[in-house]
Amino acid sequence: MNTINEKDNLLNNKIEYNSKDKNFYFEPGVIIAKADELFSWARKSSLWQLTFGLACCAIEMMSTSASNYDFDRFGVIPRPSPRQADVMIVSGTVTLKMASRIKILYEQMSEPKYVISMGSCATCGGPYWQHGYHVLKGVDRIIPVDVYVPGCPPRPEALLDGLITLQKKIEKEYLLKEKNDNKRNI
């Protein structure tokens, strides 16, 4: 985990800045870091989930947002329209007929968006990997996935753990840099 020692370098100023470096001005100084952490905290603690259940994992997702394992504690509200949703929880088997719809839905979601691939069906085709002629072997073949939750269907606690892993991942993101190059290896 290189986050800790990087902060030490920052404090006792070991990193040499050369002005020709592209993101010279965007190196996370004290002020920018604070603003970034605030925005990451806001993005992390109010992930709005797109109501989007495919198969058996959708029932487990429903019981996660029901009374016993409350999704609302983490600030997750189910939003029906992709425009207002932040996280798309792909819960269930992705079939070929459904693949083009998921791609369109992912593109309709507005920008800081994340994907949790819930269950082994969405991750790698699950029990249908061998003879599933109509099953897409994993949703990461069509959309980038942030967190994979194992299990068939995963228990609600596993989904909550997946959500917390996604929140940790969002904490480490920097808003000011472009999205792809600031995904540090966690």
Partner 1 sequence: MTIKEIFDLLKNRFENIKIYIEKFEVGEEYIVVSPDALKQILQEIRNNPRLHFDYLMCISSVDDANGEIKKDENGNKIIKGGTLSLYYHLYSTTRNHKIAIKTSVDRENPAVPTAIDLWKSADWHEREAFDMMGIKFEGHPNLKRILMPYDWNAGFPLRKDFITPEYYNDLKIPY
Partner 2 sequence: MMNEAYNLEYKSLKKEGDSEIMILNMGPQHPSTHGVLRLELKVNGEIIEEVIPHIGYLHRCFEKHAEACNYQQVIPYVDRMDYLSSMYNDFGYAIAVEKLLGIEIPERVEYIRIIMGEFQRIASHLVAIGTFGLDVGSFTPFLYCFRDREKILTLFEKTCGARLLYNYIWPGGVSHDLYPEFKNDALNFLKEFKRNLKDLEILLVENKIFIERTAGIGVLPENIAINYAASGPMIRGSGIPYDIRKIEPYGIYDRFEFNIPVGEGMMGKKGDCWDRFYVRYLEILESIKIIEQALDSLPDGNVFEKLPKKIKPKKGIVYSRVESPRGELGFFIISDGSDKPFRIKVRAPSFVNLSILPEIAKGCFIADLVAILGSIDIVLGEVDR
Partner 3 sequence: MMTLNIAFVSKLLIIPIFFGIFVSLFALFAVYAERKISARVQNRIGPNRVGPYGLLQTIADILKLIQKEAPYPFGSDKIFFNLAPILSFAASFVIFSVLPFNYYLCGLDLNLGLIFIIAIGGFNVISILFAGWSSNNKYSLLGSMRSASQMISYEIPIALIFAAVFIAFNSLNTIDITKAQENYFFNWNIFGGDNHLLKRILIIPFSAISVIILFIAFLAEANRTPFDIPEAESELVAGFHTEYSGIKFSFFFLAEYSNMFIAAALISIIFLGGFSSPFGYIGSLLNSNFIINIEQFFWFTIKSLSIVFLQMMVRWTLPRLRADQLMNLCWKYLIPYSLVAVFYALIISYI
Question: Pick from 101, 141, 179, 184: which binds partner 1 (CB under 8 A)?
Answer: 141
| Closer by beta carbon to partner 2, 10 or else 55 | 55
125 binds partner 1 (CB under 8 A): yes
**Rg, the chain, Cα only:** 19
Binding span for partner 1 by CB under 8 A among 46-54, 92-100, 150-158, 163-171: 92-100
Q: What is the 3-state secondary structure (H, E, C) of 2-63?
A: CHHHHHHHHHCCCCCCCCCCCCCCCCCCHHHHHHHHHHHHHHHHCCCEECCECCHHHHHHHH
73-104 per-residue burial string, b: 16 or more CB within 10 A, e: under 16: ebebebbeebeebbbbbbbbbbbeebbeebee
Question: Pick from 25, 34, 59, 70: which binds partner 3 (CB under 8 A)?
Answer: 70
Query: Which of partner 3, partner 2, partner 1, none does 73 bind, CB closer than 5 to 8 A by kind?
Result: partner 3
Query: Which of partner 2, partner 3, partner 1, none does 86 bind, CB closer than 5 to 8 A by kind?
Result: partner 3
Query: Which of partner 3, partner 1, partner 2, none does 124 bind, CB closer than 5 to 8 A by kind?
Result: partner 1
